[in-house]
């Protein structure tokens, strides 16, 4: 019996064209993806708006989903439109106004050799009310920890894809940061510069300019990050995509994590644990409190996703009740 204790208001999941009760399990232990992480996924949010629930940047998420499938050499049996229809029907079926949506495409039950030659590619979609990813207090600012492990390098794996197996590194390092008493991890890349969080991008602010890094820095170029850069420009900030050194980060006026799950969360301190043998140094970012730019971006992003700012309605897919 699968309880929805950690998936508030999840009632049904979609699997291969049909809805199943949340508590119903039909998955076999020999499914390929369970063993080797041979799945790709998306993280999407829908928000309550005056015109009913709306999915934020659904076409962009689905484009990335299909890119991820291609990187994993999966033949996706669904078109982009079919995936979009399945996603919106999952939100409707669960009667959710505001939720997180998780499409998962995976090599299913067939054979267990590393080459999944007899495994069909299957799609499952779940939706539930996922509140504050880093906890209710995170809006006051979080303490980040630069983990010793370097982010998987873009020459080793195409980091524009969201492949299940690659997230093992995110899980382990996220746990490590928490074991050390911090709220969240930050990875350096192989070059020793700031990469990203386990499931978030990082944006810093210096003298009114928003600075974030690009794919050559071994990061996923997040859809939230791209949206915030556009919102930031509209608010009159300069935006720059460039490598971020540790010194840039420690000396920033402000810094924040951004991503679909976390949305926008200020980082108020960062502790450098990247040299396992070196002493750890804690750096306060700016004043050590959420700064005016981060607070302004949180407000503007909130207005965009909930349709309160008409300029960004282009990013919303209304799904009706």
Give me the active site residues, please. 162
Q: Smallest gap, in angstroms, from Cβ of residue 199 to ligand PLP? A: 4
For residue 152, state whether it binds ligand PLP (rule: CB under 6 A): no
68, 94, 212, 260: which one contacts ligand PLP (CB under 6 A)? Answer: 260
For residue 210, state whether it binds ligand PLP (rule: CB under 6 A): no
Which candidate, 170, 204, 175, 171, places its Cα nearest to that of 187?
170
Q: Smallest gap, in angstroms, from Cβ of residue 262 to ligand PLP? A: 8
For residue 217, state whether it binds ligand PLP (rule: CB under 6 A): no
Long-range contacts of 16-23 (CB under 8 A, 24+ apart): 16/122, 16/123, 16/124, 17/86, 19/90, 19/93
For residue 45, state whether it binds ligand PLP (rule: CB under 6 A): no
Binding mask of the shown chain, residues 94 to 133, with x at each position contacting ligand PLP by CB under 6 A? ----------------------------------------
The upper half-sphere exposure of residue 84, i.e. CA atoms within 13 Å in the direction of its Cβ, equals 18
Q: Which stretch binds ligand PLP (CB under 6 A): 12-20, 140-148, 192-200, 263-271?
A: 192-200
Question: What would the two tokens of residue 210 be?
Answer: 């928003």
103, 164, 174, 222: which one contacts ligand PLP (CB under 6 A)? Answer: 222
Cβ-count burial 180-219 (b if 16+ within 10 Å, e if not): eebbbbbbbbeeebbbbbbbbbbbbbbeeebbbbeeebbb
Cα separation, 97 vs 66, whole angstroms:
26
For residue 224, state whether it binds ligand PLP (rule: CB under 6 A): yes
Strand 12-15 to 44-47 pairing: unpaired
Nearer to ligand PLP, 33 or 119 (CB): 33
For residue 259, state whether it binds ligand PLP (rule: CB under 6 A): yes
For residue 39, state whether it binds ligand PLP (rule: CB under 6 A): no
* CB distance 64 to 44 below 8 Å: no
Nearer to ligand PLP, 265 or 268 (CB): 265
Angle at 304 between CA 319 and CA 237, to 5 degrees: 155
| DSSP H or E segment with residue 35 | helix 32-36
For residue 263, state whether it binds ligand PLP (rule: CB under 6 A): no
- The SS3 assignment for 6 reads coil
For residue 218, state whether it binds ligand PLP (rule: CB under 6 A): no
Q: Smallest gap, in angstroms, from Cβ of residue 91 to ligand PLP? A: 17
Residue with the shortest CB distance to ligand PLP: 222
Nearer to ligand PLP, 223 or 305 (CB): 223
Cα separation, 157 vs 164, whole angstroms:
13
For residue 43, state whether it binds ligand PLP (rule: CB under 6 A): yes
For residue 196, state whether it binds ligand PLP (rule: CB under 6 A): yes
Cα separation, 218 vs 208, whole angstroms:
25
Q: Tally Cβ neighbours within 10 Å of residue 146.
A: 23
Nearer to ligand PLP, 224 or 271 (CB): 224
Q: Which stretch binds ligand PLP (CB under 6 A): 93-101, 193-201, 264-272, 288-296?
A: 193-201
Contacts to ligand PLP by CB under 6 A: 43, 196, 199-201, 220, 222-225, 259-260
């Amino acid at each position: 019996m699968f309880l929805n204790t950690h998936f508030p208001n999840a009632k049904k999941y979609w699997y291969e064209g049909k809805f199943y009760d949340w508590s119903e399990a039909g998955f076999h232990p020999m499914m390929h993806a369970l063993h080797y992480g041979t799945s790709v996924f998306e993280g999407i949010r829908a928000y309550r708006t005056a015109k009913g629930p709306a999915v934020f940047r659904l076409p962009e998420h689905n484009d990335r989903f299909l890119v991820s499938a291609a990187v994993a050499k999966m033949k996706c049996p669904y078109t982009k439109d079919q995936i979009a229809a399945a996603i919106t029907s999952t939100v409707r079926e669960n009667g959710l106004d505001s939720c997180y949506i998780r499409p998962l495409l995976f090599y299913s039950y067939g054979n267990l050799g590393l080459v999944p030659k007899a495994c069909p590619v299957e799609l499952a979609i779940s939706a539930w009310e996922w509140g504050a990813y880093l906890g209710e207090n995170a809006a006051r600012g979080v303490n980040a920890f630069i983990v010793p492990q370097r982010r998987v390098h873009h020459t080793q794996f195409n980091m524009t894809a969201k492949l299940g197996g690659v997230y093992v590194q995110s899980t382990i390092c996220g746990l490590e940061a928490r074991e050390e008493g911090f709220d969240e991890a930050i990875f350096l890349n192989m070059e020793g510069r700031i990469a990203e969080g386990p499931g978030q991008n990082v944006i810093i602010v210096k003298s009114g300019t928003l600075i974030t890094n690009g794919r050559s820095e071994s990061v996923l170029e997040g859809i939230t990050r791209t949206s915030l850069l556009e919102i930031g420009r509209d608010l009159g900030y300069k935006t720059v995509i460039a490598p971020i050194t540790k010194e840039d980060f420690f000396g920033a006026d402000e810094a924040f994590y951004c991503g679909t799950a976390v949305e926008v969360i200020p980082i108020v301190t960062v502790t450098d644990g990247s040299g396992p043998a070196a002493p750890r140094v804690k750096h306060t970012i700016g004043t050590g409190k959420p700064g005016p730019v981060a607070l302004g971006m949180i407000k503007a992003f909130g207005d965009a996703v909930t349709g309160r700012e008409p300029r960004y309605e282009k990013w919303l897919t209304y799904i009706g009740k």
